[in-house]
Chain A
Amino acid sequence: MELTRRDLLKGAAALGAAATVPLTATGAALAQTTQKKELVTAQAGDISKFDPHFSTSSNDIRVSFNVFDNLTSRHPDGKLYPGLATEWKLDGQTTWRFKLRQGVKFHNGDAFTSADAKFSIERTYDPAAKTMVATALATIEKIEAPDPFTLVITTKKPDPLLPGRLAFYGGQIVPKKYLESVGNDTFNAKPIGTGPVRFGSWVKDDKAVLEANPDYWGGKIEVDRWTMRPIPETAPRIAALLKGEVDIITQLPPDQGERVTGNATTRVAGALYAGLYVLGVNSKRPSLDNPLVKQALSLAIDRDAIVKELWRGRGIVPNGPIAKGDNHYDASLPPLAYNPAEAKDRLKKAGYKNEEIFIETTVAYVAQDKAMAEAIAAMWKDIGVNVKVEVVEYSVRAQKNREKSFKGMWWSDPTSTLGDPDGMMWRLLGPGGPMDYWRDARWDELGNSARFSVDEKFRAGAYKEMTRIFLESLPWLPVIQPYEDYGLQKYVDFTPNPNQQFEVRRFNLKLRRA
């Protein structure tokens, strides 16, 4: 077992009083720097696939976004930066021109050209390819590659947010020649991309090893190797961090934050999630089709207590359907209110006759889902709601989601993929969308025009009006906008990305050297 920071500190302490003064100082400094050339991280679930177009699971995305590059890149600061595209501009209403980066090589030595970009993007929605990200770039009409470093994308209707869409899942660029020659299965087993790390080995449920790409266009990363270990249970994952066995852990529950902060060698880093944790509502069900009932349910939730106690303050109370940090977030709106007396009143006005109201919760799919469900159920019982909590497996939830057959409410953590209400509220609640249980003609009209408008003032007004309608009808019950926390060794300089991407590129991850 290699010498850990603790061993060194213990050794320092054992050397006696006089000697410990300078040595403790060095000991503390030692805890803050490292000579390691390997990064070890632990996350709660294992990878299932390396092919970036075949999974949208965050466990896969954390790795695939580093094996592959996108044309554009959203950094933790929320802004869009060049990736494999160095420049882009709108040419007319529906055409985007991208200038591509030159001199980039795939991990197998093949050169990156516009042919690869065209192939990758078309692959996502090619019916023959059967990918799982077919709807990510569905606004695209056609793609042309007039020369090896230019890409021209024409969209079906004006789409000002296209470059943002390309930064998220579905936009990873894969090698045309290699993929076509080996086929999907081999590509998944031995993936090749342009990213800062390349595939080394993968033992399922044990660890994945990725080697640094020495010729990466963004600069070789800090370390030579990155090992990712899945540790599904919280206690061992944190223990691994505290013992120095891993450098970074993801999905750190708020209850455990103190232990990581209190430990001399580790710290917590969190990003305010670019999205919300909400209770999706099947507004087609009896009782839940009545806006007064939903308003009552919302008023009965003591979000402050949830944030303060269950989340230990690591979160904020939302004020509507738009996440803080997004375009058109209205800071003037008050946080969603807690007023049990008013809630009881509205229930009465609604004519609620003790019908059963269900929360179908998952366990550990959305952080603290079961605990919050039980807490909220108790709050609702207090105002006289006949609430039933049912625990469902993730697979059951996925099925109900697909069939839109939820009995009542369920947990969802919508991500604002574009930093804009269009990418969250409209994408998910819009007509034909995955959470289409409620329609309002005015709301739909506003959302549609806002999507295709380039006038930000108009869009601001539209989203304000949509928020007002939303708060009356509550197709979602927003509960919290949490910080998603990571545990780090103190010698790791790492900024979490609010959209859950795990960024190891040079600009975001460094190890402090002595």
Chain B
Amino acid sequence: MRGFVPFLGHRLFRALIALWLVSTVVFVVMRLSGDPVPLLLPPDAPHSEIMRVRRELGLDQPIPVQYVIFLSNLARGDFGRSIHFREPAFNVVRGYLMATLELGLTAFVLAAVVAVPVGLFSAMRRNTLVDHVAMGLALVGQSAPTFFLGILFILLLSLKADLFPTSGRGDWRNLVLPALTLGAFTMASIARLTRSAVLEVLGADYIRTARAKGVAETWVVAKHTLKNAAIPIVTITGLQFGTLLGGAVVTETVFAWPGIGRLAVQSIYNRDYAVVQCTVFLAALMFVVINFFVDLIYGVLDPRIRAG
């Protein structure tokens, strides 16, 4: 394990730098996007009003000063106050976070639960109609634009077939369409991955050996498939779960799902700096943490990496 700890340490350092970079980029972009004060006051408010509110919000300081204040607050976990909601930004984000986690977890679990058996089945029934249909759908799921998938689902399954509600968050029925939309890419990727992993295993020597020995084929297939597919699946998982926010932005907008993706977009339009900074930081943090664990798991699974 000797090479592993420095490897992880190196990864951690890079992650921290990445977080800092992300925060800085958000800060710069938001400051450049303009003044939020006109959004808060009625149009006939005099200039003195504007200046007063700007001072109150700390926006009258020069940008470098604001940046230093921003960073030092960030280090203390203080994300600032939401201009739009007049509450601490973190409280606002926390309120929306559960919704996104609910959606993301459901999407992911749904994806895995459906995709793995489908991939397995497709491989074992290779080149039959089932295989072609499944892989065709997987292709659609991986390449189709998320927003249009959502619109199609709404049109066909909600408006025409009346099976599910069209938007919003409520009971389990409201989860289905957004989760399908968000999870489509992951589902398709995992299905294809599983299928190729199984195919590779099926063609391998140890299968023939097992058959010759009379060992239950399925069990061997499953065990070796798992070993084979583990790394790519873990990679996909890390990436997908970590970039949850990116995919969620579109899905939450299409379905009016009250999560942090939608919150971030609205806050950009509202020029609510603190909320945007907080959301992006937390999303990046989530990504970094998850990928850190992914690296950890690699270390367990793949000896090459352990050796550094």
User: Interface of A with B (CB < 8 Å)?
Assistant: 48-49, 51, 54, 56, 127, 130, 132-136, 184-185, 188-189, 203-206, 229-233, 235-236, 239-240, 243, 245, 393-396, 398-399, 401-403, 427-428, 433-435
Contacts and interface: CB of A to CB of B under 8 A. Distances in A.
B159 A49 contact: no
B86 A49 contact: yes
Interface stretch (B17-25, B43-51, B69-77, B179-187): B43-51
Given A185-B87, A395-B270, A399-B35, A204 B92 contact: yes
A281 B45 CA distance: 20
Q: Which of A56, A206, A434 has most B Cβ within 10 Å?
A: A206
Contacts, number: 102
Given A135-B46, A231-B168, 4 more contacts: A205-B258, A236-B154, A395-B270, A399-B35
B256 A236 contact: yes
Nearest to A433: B44
B214 interface: no
Contact of A229 (B46, B168, B271): B168
Contacts of B43: 398, 401-402, 434-435
Contacts of A231: 167-168, 256
B34 A206 contact: no
A180 B258 CA distance: 33
Interface string B32-59: 0111111111111110011011001000
Interface string B173-191: 0000000000000000000
Interface string B129-169: 00000000000000000000000001000110010011111
Contacts of B271: 395
B172 interface: no
- Per CB-CB distance, the 9 closest pairs between chain A and chain B, nearest first, are A205-B258, A236-B166, A402-B38, A434-B43, A236-B167, A398-B38, A434-B44, A398-B39, A399-B38
B192 interface: no
B52 A127 contact: yes
A433 B262 CA distance: 35
18 contacts: A49-B86, A127-B52, A130-B56, A132-B40, A133-B42, A135-B46, A203-B95, A204-B95, A233-B256, A236-B168, A239-B159, A239-B166, A240-B166, A393-B269, A395-B34, A401-B38, A402-B35, A402-B37
Contacts of B306: none
A189 B95 CA distance: 14
Contacts of A232: 256
Interface string B278-294: 00000000000000000
B96 interface: yes
B201 to A, nearest CB: 46
A189 to B, nearest CB: 8
A141 B175 CA distance: 56
Contacts of A402: 35, 37-38, 41, 43, 50
A71 B206 CA distance: 87
Contact of A132 (B42, B154, B158): B42
Contacts of B31: none
B295 to A, nearest CB: 35
A206 B258 contact: yes
A134 B45 contact: yes
B86 A54 contact: yes
B52 A204 contact: no
B11 interface: no
B117 to A, nearest CB: 31
Contacts of B33: 395
Contacts of B159: 235, 239
Nearest to A434: B43
B45 to A, nearest CB: 6
Contacts of B40: 132
Nearest to A206: B258
B85 interface: yes
Contacts of B41: 132, 402
Nearest to A127: B52
A231 B257 CA distance: 10
A395 to B, nearest CB: 5
Nearest to B151: A235
Nearest to A202: B95
Nearest to A230: B256
Contacts of A233: 166-167, 256
B42 A395 contact: no
Nearest to A45: B266
B85 A135 contact: no
Contacts of A204: 85, 92, 95-96, 258
Contacts of B166: 233, 235-236, 239-240
Given A395-B270, A402-B50, A56 B168 contact: no
B153 to A, nearest CB: 13
